[in-house]
Amino acid sequence: MNTKVSKPILVIKFGTASITLPSGEPDVRIISEIARQVSEIHSQYRIIIVSSGAVGAGKAYVNDYKGTMTQRKAAASVGNPLLVGLYASYFAPNKIYIAQSLCERQHFANRNKFLQLKETFEELWSNGIIPIVNENDVVSDRELKFSDNDELATLLAVGFGAESLMFCTSVGGLLDEEGKILRNVSNVNEVFKFVRTDKSFLGLGGMASKLTFAKLASRMAIRVVIFGMNQPNELLNALKGEAGTLITPGKSTLSARNRWLGSGGLVSGTLRVDEGASKALLKRKSLLAVGVTEVTGDFEAGEIIEIYSSEDEMIAVARARETSSAIRTNLKTVNFEVAHANDIVLL
């Protein structure tokens, strides 16, 4: 019998402001520290690094750069190999190789594509290689607002069943009203009041984004840490719970398939349900059209949807059994099934 135990998965996301200089160029001091500290834990984890900063690294090569969508895509196409090259050069002294992985949302929406992505990562890990992940901005058909890669990192962590998800920020953690780092958070909803709405000078995301996805990850039993890279060995200390903000994970017994479904994948629409339907869902019942009060978005049967309560709280994600138009037409139809219980994941 094979008694080998797989190493836990660790996803580390680095935001633009945390790894770049004010000019937008990559901060080689920070990237060298990332490589050094990650190398120290490389033997203990299957590691994914999600790194922003491609646009900042490449924008100097785009003439008369004004930040238009086309220019951002061009900058990303130049900046991605430059950024990956830097990571490769600083990991090389530790004899650790890295691989570039440019992901698109469709890779998470389709279960088969997602499993192929996971199989590729498993092959990389088996060879001691660390994937450096970024969104494939060059062919993205929507604005470059992937929550500054927070969502991408969370989709990977939840779908792959990571033990820990780490968000690196320029401020080093979640700050309270006095500007001090909150060391431990057990209820994410209680700390949204501390979030500032302004953004970093280069990033598209913010702390609200990180908390939103931290909430999802913690519900899926993933340990979430928000940390910085401004103090010695801060990544290593944060992983041990000795720096940054630790968000306590909840408990989850979801299967791998339902973890993938629960990550939201590529959400195509939303439903709002009444109190009766909310109670039925909590009892692991299927969702019927008579309990749906609002349908938002256009989606096909089989696509992923979010389900909200009458109090505007997201309570589940599901794979739709019917199209959005069919659901709208049959809101008053008795026993018209919108989503089967086996395809609903409670949050």
Pick the CATH number of 266-346 from 3.90.230.10, 3.60.15.10, 3.40.50.11540, 2.30.130.10: 2.30.130.10
At residue 1 the predicted structure's pLDDT band, cuts being 50, 70 and 90, is very low
Which residues neighbour 153 within 8 Å (Cβ) at sequence distance 6 or greater?
11, 12, 13, 48, 50, 133, 165, 167, 213
At residue 135 the predicted structure's pLDDT band, cuts being 50, 70 and 90, is confident
Between 338 and 171, where is the model more confident? Answer: 338
Report the pLDDT averaged over residues 224-240. Answer: 93
pLDDT at 164 over 90: yes
Cβ contact 163:8 at 8 Å: yes
| The predicted structure's pLDDT at residue 24 | 78
Exposed e or buried b for every residue in 71-108, given b needs 16+ CB within 10 A?
bbbbbbbbbbebbbebbbebbeeeebebbbbbbbbebb
At residue 90 the predicted structure's pLDDT band, cuts being 50, 70 and 90, is very high
Q: What radius of gyration do the chain's Cα atoms show?
A: 21
Between 96 and 346, where is the model more confident? Answer: 96
Alpha-carbon span 38 to 206, nearest angstrom: 24
Exposed e or buried b for every residue in 204-231, given b needs 16+ CB within 10 A?
bbbbebbbbbbbbbbbbbbbbbbbbbee
Cβ contact 167:226 at 8 Å: yes
DSSP secondary structure of 14-47: E-HHHHB-TTSSB-HHHHHHHHHHHHHHTTT-EE
pLDDT, averaged across the chain: 82
Instruction: Express each pLDDT in 54-63 by its tens digit.
Output: 888 888 899 9
Pick the CATH number of 9-256 from 1.10.20.60, 3.90.1300.10, 3.40.1160.10, 3.30.750.24: 3.40.1160.10
pTM of the model: 0.75
Matching CATH topology for 9-256 and 266-346?
Answer: no
List, in sequence order, the alpha helices (H) in the chain: 16-19, 28-41, 54-58, 69-91, 106-109, 111-126, 150-160, 207-219, 234-239, 256-262, 275-282, 324-329
pLDDT at 35 over 60: yes
Report the pLDDT averaged over residues 92-110. Answer: 83
Between 99 and 112, where is the model more confident? Answer: 99
The CA-to-CA distance between both ends of the chain, in Å, stands at 36
At residue 155 the predicted structure's pLDDT band, cuts being 50, 70 and 90, is confident
Instruction: Express each pLDDT in 187-230 by its tens digit.
Output: 776 666 666 544 443 333 456 667 777 777 777 788 999 999 98
Report the pLDDT averaged over residues 241-250. Answer: 86
Return the structure tokens found at 265. Answer: 């994948």
| The predicted structure's pLDDT at residue 209 | 63
Count CA atoms within 13 Å of residue 70 on its CB side.
Answer: 2
Between 137 and 67, where is the model more confident? Answer: 67
Q: How far is CA 111 from the centre of its chain?
A: 17
pLDDT at 142 over 80: no
